Amino acid sequence: MSGAMFMTKSVFFNLSISALPPTSSSLSLCSSRKVSRVCFSAVSNSNDKEGSEVVDRTKDRAVELKEKVKEKAKEGTDRVTETAQSAKETAEDYSNDTKEGTQRAADAGNDTKEKIEEYAQEVKDKTEEAVETAAGKAEEGRKDAAGKAENLGEIAKEAVQGAWGAARETTQKIKETVEGKDGKDDVK
């Protein structure tokens, strides 16, 4: 029985004072821990039924507190789990946003590259057309110049022949005039 008394005393001292009955006049006189032991032993000696009720209430209160602590611990664990899940989702969202941003930047880079290639091809095509046009005009100009030079050559030839013919005629007339018109000396 002394073991049960020791456990009872230990339980009472380890639990909050609110578990003790408020009507106990001998407990309200206790002001220090040492005095309360004396008072407590006096209560347990005087009335075992009241002490066992206190022990039962204390056990019930201990069970209730244990359940509350268990619930609070579960709530805390649940909050930590929710917070971790939320952080994970947020990190995934940031990761997805980063991936999307990177993809948009890559797409924009590809679009720019394609536009530059198209522009370069257009410039190349226009340059080739301009070179061909210039070459064609140069060839036309060369042909025109050759044709005009040939025409000028023909004109010059005709002019020289005309001048030669006129010079011969003039020479003939001069000769005829000098020799006389009798035609005795014909020069051929």
pLDDT in tens, 39-85: 444 444 445 677 788 888 888 899 999 999 999 999 999 999 999 99
What pTM value is reported for the model? 0.34
Separation of alpha carbons 98 and 105, rounded Å: 10
- The CA-CA-CA angle for residues 17, 23, 29, to 5°, reads 70
Q: What percent of the chain has pLDDT over 90?
A: 18
